[in-house]
Amino acid sequence: MIFSQVPVGTMQNFSYIIGDAASHKAVLVDPAWEIDKLLGLCGDAGLSVCYVINTHSHHDHVEGNDAIVQRTRAKVVAHQSAPIRKDIAVSDGDLVELGSLRIQVIHTPGHCPDHICLLVDGKVLTGDTLFVGECGRTDLGGGNPGAMYESLFNKLMKLDDATEVYPGHDYGRKPSSTIGEERRTNYTLKPRTKEEFIKFMAEP
Ligand SMILES: [Fe+2]
């Protein structure tokens, strides 16, 4: 697998390139702000972009979709509830096939209802659900701390400790982590009941 974490824009966003070395096909995850840079990196690696996958519909994660589609004819993949133009609507457990790669969709509402994380080859792309040392906000439109609890503790924390974590923003002390490290060190993931977590998320 060809994998690249690409810092873009002024809001510490990360876009991601996932490429299949055999078929030279690529996915762009959350393309935004610096489309020339993203397409240039794909071109340098000999990859043609077949899919855009959005972790969620917030503007800073989708604002490059139209430009990518115009320039590559990629198909846009997003959760079925995402209020954006999409070609392929996915739900929890679906697989996106890219050559020999299988990208698994994990529905993780909480930051917003249409949020998905992507599991591929021992890596999980966590968007704005889980950051290094933090979790996503639940106080924006569509945010839901109870749903965030389920997404964090009953989905992401069920993954193997060795799974590498690649977030949607560079908000932590380093750009990536692992599920085990976040389980041990992320203060938002300390053992709490759902009720305690909801209260915790309401604190300033
Ligand atoms: Fe967001």
- In a 13 Å sphere around the CA of 129, the CA atoms on its Cβ side amount to 34
Q: How many whole angstroms from 163 Cα to the centroid of ligand 1?
A: 22
Interval 107-132 mean pLDDT: 98
CA distance 108 to 67: 27
Residue 64 burial (C-beta neighbours within 10 Å; 0-12, 13-18, 19+)? buried
Q: How many whole angstroms from 74 Cα to the centroid of ligand 1?
A: 22
Q: How many whole angstroms from 140 Cα to the centroid of ligand 1?
A: 9
Q: How many whole angstroms from 128 Cα to the centroid of ligand 1?
A: 5
Digit-coded pLDDT (tens) for 3-23 = 999 999 999 999 999 999 999
Q: How many whole angstroms from 177 Cα to the centroid of ligand 1?
A: 19
Q: Is a pLDDT exceeding 90 seen at residue 171?
A: yes
Write down the pLDDT at residue 154.
98
Average pLDDT, the chain: 97
Q: Is a pLDDT exceeding 90 seen at residue 113?
A: yes
29 in Cβ contact with 48 (< 8 Å): no
Q: How many whole angstroms from 36 Cα to the centroid of ligand 1?
A: 22
Interval 57-62 mean pLDDT: 98
Cβ contacts of 36 within 8 Å, gap of 6 or more: none
52 in Cβ contact with 69 (< 8 Å): yes
Q: Is a pLDDT exceeding 90 seen at residue 204?
A: no
Strand partners, 165: 124, 177
Write down the pLDDT at residue 159.
98
> What pLDDT band is residue 74 in, cutting at 50, 70 and 90?
very high
13 in Cβ contact with 167 (< 8 Å): no
Q: How many whole angstroms from 111 Cα to the centroid of ligand 1?
A: 7
> What pLDDT band is residue 123 in, cutting at 50, 70 and 90?
very high
Q: How many whole angstroms from 136 Cα to the centroid of ligand 1?
A: 8
Write down the pLDDT at residue 190.
97
Q: How many whole angstroms from 168 Cα to the centroid of ligand 1?
A: 8
Within 10 A of 145 (CB to CB), how many other CB atoms are there?
Answer: 18
The pairing of beta strand 116-120 with beta strand 123-127: antiparallel
The pairing of beta strand 2-8 with beta strand 13-20: antiparallel
Write down the pLDDT at residue 189.
98
